Amino acid sequence: MNKKYLLPAVLVLSLVLTLTAAAGSYFARSFSLFASASIIFTAGLYAFMKFAAHFKTGDREFAKALARLVIFIVPALFFISVLIAVKSAASFSKPFGADAGLTYLFSGISCAGLLICFKISVNNYKNTALTFLAAAFCMALVILQIALQSFEFYLSLFFAVVAAAGCVMLAAKSLKRIKAGN
């Protein structure tokens, strides 16, 4: 696929996701969670790659921050996948109504974050900042969806909050390095 068509394709996918969610699609909540989880997974993989790169170059402080983020993203992804499975199973018994349009709109927009995540390079701090801000945004969406649906997943809520905070802190560190001219 040509790169110039990638952004429109992602935005169309986001719009379709938003419209199906607004229409009360059976699997809309699972789809929006899956979109968020894919971005969070990509950010976790990216954090691991950057950890390895910074560990080799001797930038231990940034490498430690990345390692902590990976440690918290992995359990958050596990609980999000459980939540996706539960919502998919529940959708067979009852359809979801169009009751959280704003959440789905943001979930649809978060699909556009995939474009950021797939165009990353290991040594570019600007892309690092954008990737982790997109991941923090998706974590916030997941936190909102968990809080609106059930409090049975309080452990996933904890890991999602910690991982979102870690993403924001790493984005801030990356922006500081951009300002410092690194």
pLDDT in tens, 51-83: 777 777 777 777 777 677 667 666 666 666 666
The answer for residues whose C-beta is within 8 angstroms of residue 160's C-beta and 6 or more apart is 76, 79, 80, 139, 142, 143, 146
C-alpha span between 96 and 131 (Å, rounded): 31
**What is the percent of the chain where pLDDT is above 70?**
10
Pair 148, 106: CB distance under 8 Å: no
What type of residue sits at position 9?
A: A
C-alpha span between 115 and 131 (Å, rounded): 9
Lowest model confidence (mean pLDDT) among 50-54, 160-164, 175-179: 160-164
Domain boundaries, the chain: 3-92+99-179
DSSP state of 26: T
Mean confidence (pLDDT) of the chain: 59
